[in-house]
Amino acid sequence: MSEPLLEVKHLCKYFNTSGGVLHAVDDVSFAIEKGKTLGVVGESGCGKSTTGRAILRLHEPTSGEVLFEGNDITKYSMKQMREMRKDMQIVFQDPFASLNPRKTVSEIIAEPFRLHRTLTNKTEREGRVLELMETVGLAARLVNSYPHELDGGRRQRIGIARALAMNPKFVVCDEPVSALDVSIQAQILNLLKQLQEERGLTYIFITHDLSVVNYFSDEIVVMYLGKIVEYTSAEQLFAHPVHPYTKALLSAIPVPRVDAKKERILLKGEITSPINPKPGCRFAPRCEYAKPECFEKSPELRETEKGHKVSCHFAEQF
């Protein structure tokens, strides 16, 4: 791997709750090369969105390092972080909830200029907004529209234009298409891909949908209850998944052929609580291969072959 743009080391994000400490993200480490995409997948509650937000410090990390171009931004002051946010942006899942309903398309896209006190000249600012609208495929006639007057696809295009306003290097795409109609999902994915190629953007692409992440990612991490259980290239993950949880997720992807037969692995057993988790593999209560040792000792994420990491005591046996 050449020099990574982003390196996350032993990142933890815990939340205090009335029932105890919730380990939402627990000792997560990975790296992303410039211009590449890392897919982060898992079921709801696995910590994937919290990971994205902790990287941007929208949730303050409990511990760990986030190295951006070699500098640990968890040590940055709020002022330094504000400056960093020009380079590090996010596209949210629900475009409607993330856009101010009382602002026009133009005002929303221009928000970053106001926050960073750039482009104070009105004519220049309006020109740049129109440029950004064209970049994301929004017609100029919509410049004075409000979010509620637009469909989900167009609203997500506004979110993308706003994220691109300061010419970032890195974007967290947090379930960017899961709130959209299937017919519109492909358009937004193609747009994100095209923008990456044109601008050399580096993405973290967070999703619960493995079929989407395959199309989009160079490497993939699979998360389960705050932990990475498997981490490898997209190609390797789909060809040779190892962790029993990854295999179950992959078995749930529909096959687009009427005659195709695929056996779905149904996970049974209770989901371990991420609040004050006990030692042991967090997947053990749902794992058909679990042995007594799995309930006592937490497996490390370790390389089982070159470029393929798995967190399972018995990975070599699968």
281 sits near ligand SF4 (criterion: CB under 6 A): yes
227 sits near ligand SF4 (criterion: CB under 6 A): no
What are the structure tokens assigned to 27, written together? 């000792």
Site string for ligand SF4, 47-86 (x = CB under 6 A): ----------------------------------------
- Count of residues of this chain found to bind ligand SF4 when the rule CB under 6 A is applied: 12
299 sits near ligand SF4 (criterion: CB under 6 A): yes
User: Are the beta carbons of 54 and 25 closer than 8 angstroms?
Assistant: yes
Q: Tokens 């979110």 — which residue?
A: 159
247 sits near ligand SF4 (criterion: CB under 6 A): no
Beta-bridge mates of residue 22: 15, 275
242 sits near ligand SF4 (criterion: CB under 6 A): no
- Pairing between β-strand 63-68 and β-strand 88-91 as defined by DSSP bridges: unpaired
Give min distance, CB of 62 to ligand SF4, in A.
Answer: 24
150 sits near ligand SF4 (criterion: CB under 6 A): no
Give min distance, CB of 251 to ligand SF4, in A.
Answer: 15
> Which CA distances in Å does 173 have to 25, 67, 161, 206, 220?
18, 19, 13, 6, 14
Amino acid symbol at 160: I
Q: Kindly tell me which residue out of 52, 159, 168, 244 binds ligand SF4, with binding defined by CB under 6 A.
A: 244
289 sits near ligand SF4 (criterion: CB under 6 A): yes
User: Are the beta carbons of 249 and 240 closer than 8 angstroms?
Assistant: no
249 sits near ligand SF4 (criterion: CB under 6 A): no
User: Are the beta carbons of 180 and 156 closer than 8 angstroms?
Assistant: yes
Residue 190: DSSP 8-state: H
Residues that bind ligand SF4 (CB under 6 A): 244, 281, 283-284, 287, 289-290, 294, 299, 312-314
